[in-house]
Structure 1
Amino acid sequence: MGVLVLCVALAACSPGDEPSPGAEQGLLRIGMIPDAGATQAAADDKRLLQEMLASRLGRPVEVIVTTNYAATVEALGNGSVDIAYLGGLTFVRAHNAFGAVPLVQRDIDRAFHSAFIARRESGIDGLDDLAGRSMCFGDVNSTSGHLMPRFELDEAGVGETLGPARNTGSHPATAAAVASGACDAGVLDETVWAKLVADGAIDPQEVAVFHTSAPFADYVWAARPGVPAADRESFSRALLELRRGRDDAVLDVLRGDRYVRANAGDYAAVEATARKLKLL
């Protein structure tokens, strides 16, 4: 399992240390899919989250960003992490495989969207314009970067007419591939797109959204079944109590404004879609 590990004083670990279950009494290990990319910079961006959790939970916390989506599911299943940040598809995999327990999610995750993007000069203004054009998706296990947009393309009768398609591995990589001309079009998480534009990583005068997907349930924080109910609740409360105007820095890292309770039943449509596309 490839990982990028964040360590702060409360986590009592050294830079570069890899996770070892049970190494410290009371250490809570948090796994995260690399939705913002599997880079050290992306991992370091989660430092505020780690520090907030350690402070509010009153215990050492270690945030682990895995190098791909499947590795996060594996880590939660084998006990390398206690709680994980998953996408809709990876949650369904974890829930079906070993009973991962849904905890909380951002309010926007109940009706999330994928953003289809292309260079303005490409002549791509809608899904019908994708025939014969190259397409970039994110990680093959990404809900917003692959599963749901792939299904929407098929439903629109466009899927079989696409030109060369490939998986870039992450949402930022998809945006970069489109911006550079490596792909004619791409699709990614709407909140990652907004952050890339806000941070100046992508010029919206050069690359723009030409289609927004139908809504679907996406990201969720989930615990492995062996995590005590009290620990699951304290973690959930830490996120449920985040407020704009007081916790802006952490909420910006999480790309959200408010957290709500999550329910496994909300992912029935994601599961059905994955089965149709033979991704489950």
Structure 2
Amino acid sequence: MRRSAWLCALSATIATLLASCGQKPDAAATGDWRSGIKEVRMAVSGSNDDPMIVRRRGVYQAHLAKALGLPVKLYESSDYNGVIQALSSGQVDLAQMAGGSYANVDAQVGELVAPILSLRQAEGGTGYYSSIVVRADSPYRSVADLKGRSLAYVDFNSTSGYLVPRAKLREQGIDPDTYFGKTGFAGGHTQAVMSLANGQFDAAILQASGGDPEHGFSRGALHTMARRGLVEVEDFRIIWTAGPIPSEAFVVRTDRPQPMIDLVRGAMGALPYDEPDLWPELGQLDGSAYTSVNRDHYKDIIALRAADLAQRRGQGGRP
């Protein structure tokens, strides 16, 4: 095929894709998906006090802006729900979120939002763990020791800090709504660590990664806090784990131009290869990379969320 004919065919394909995404006729006709788009908006959550999180956001922002040929604006939220609502309402184009948050979005808007990428570890795994953690100087060494004691959840929309551990405890014959003497929401993994360290709760549920229950973990909330010099890992003890849980995803609005979605997928997938020296500085393990995923990757989390909501409604909405 001659080059001119190939270009015509390519332009026709792009025009068709853009038309299916609801673009204006003039934008579709020219094949310029950027027409009328001033910036790409990405929602992020997490503490601005953690230099690793701030660094990672900045790298993602610069990398995507270069690939997309448009400014990327970050919409920051201090909690999970802010990102969920921004994505569900269409205020942002993409976000990075855990499975439980995506399940919330899926329940609200369905196919208008889809996961496209998730982190794959060097050994091929695509998950992390939920853990129940106590202070090392406490007498608690099993969940049985925590009956009637206090437990801190992370957030109602947290996958590892609420949704999965509650489901797994029920599978073990423990009703988390009646087994513990007091439960509460810390508001985030950092806050959960501090509430445990300060004695506000007897135990806390935290994310753990970079390993497994048999060999231990090298990443997660405790290790993040330790790197900041706020706690010592040795001052805490993991007494229960559940997982692996599907890793968080890059999620996009599907009513955005398909070429934009494809560029986001390609740019983030290429990041560890385009920036091999920067990748470990972002807190990512050597050999890890992003892999393509879709809704089916999170179907179990979606089902767990629906079941937990049904359970809570049956008990009058008690957390």
TM over 0.5: yes
Structure 2: gaps spanning 5 or more residues: 1-33, 209-219, 313-319
Q: Distance in 1 between matches of 2:98 and 2:308?
A: 17
Counterpart residue identity of residue 158, structure 2: S
Greater Cα radius of gyration, structure 1 or 2: 2
Using structure 1 for the length normalisation, give the TM-score.
Answer: 0.81
- Conserved in 2, the CA contact under 8 Å of 1:43 and 1:65? no
Aligned counterpart, 1:3: none
Are 2:183 and 1:154 aligned?
A: no
- Conserved in 2, the CA contact under 8 Å of 1:38 and 1:68? no
- Cα deviation for residue 39 of structure 1 reads 5.9
- Cα deviation for residue 248 of structure 1 reads 4.9
Q: Distance in 1 between matches of 2:116 and 2:262?
A: 8
Using structure 2 for the length normalisation, give the TM-score.
Answer: 0.72
Q: Distance in 2 between matches of 1:197 and 1:57?
A: 36
Aligned counterpart, 1:140: 156
Deviations 1:174-199 (A, max 9, x none): 11111111111111221333322333
Identity of matched residues, %? 22
Aligned counterpart, 1:111: 127
Are 2:104 and 1:73 aligned?
A: no
Deviations 1:7-26 (A, max 9, x none): xxxxxxxxxxxxxxx9x833
Aligned counterpart, 2:262: 233
The residue matched to 1:25 in structure 2 has which SS? coil
User: Over the residues paired in the alignment, what is the CA RMSD in angstroms?
Assistant: 2.6
- Conserved in 2, the CA contact under 8 Å of 1:111 and 1:217? yes
Q: Distance in 2 between matches of 1:56 and 1:192?
A: 31
- Cα deviation for residue 51 of structure 1 reads 2.1
Q: Distance in 2 between matches of 1:174 and 1:83?
A: 27
Give the one of 154, 167, 170 matched to 2:188.
170
Aligned counterpart, 1:275: 306
- Cα deviation for residue 224 of structure 1 reads 0.9
Equivalent residues, number = 256
- Cα deviation for residue 88 of structure 1 reads 0.6
Distance change in 2, residues 1:261/1:183 (3 Å): same
Are 2:249 and 1:220 aligned?
A: yes
Are 2:138 and 1:122 aligned?
A: yes
Q: Distance in 2 between matches of 1:176 and 1:198?
A: 14
Q: Distance in 2 between matches of 1:180 and 1:248?
A: 38
Q: Distance in 2 between matches of 1:171 and 1:249?
A: 25
Q: Distance in 2 between matches of 1:137 and 1:41?
A: 24
- Cα deviation for residue 232 of structure 1 reads 0.8
Moved more, 249-258 or 190-199: 249-258
Are 2:274 and 1:262 aligned?
A: no
- Cα deviation for residue 254 of structure 1 reads 6.2
Distance change in 2, residues 1:201/1:115 (3 Å): farther
Counterpart residue identity of residue 136, structure 2: R
Counterpart residue identity of residue 125, structure 1: R
Deviations 1:32-59 (A, max 9, x none): 2x2x337697874422322222233332
Counterpart residue identity of residue 199, structure 2: G
- Conserved in 2, the CA contact under 8 Å of 1:37 and 1:173? no
Give the one of 29, 47, 56 matched to 1:37.
47
Structure 1: gaps spanning 5 or more residues: 1-21
The residue matched to 2:233 in structure 1 has which SS? coil
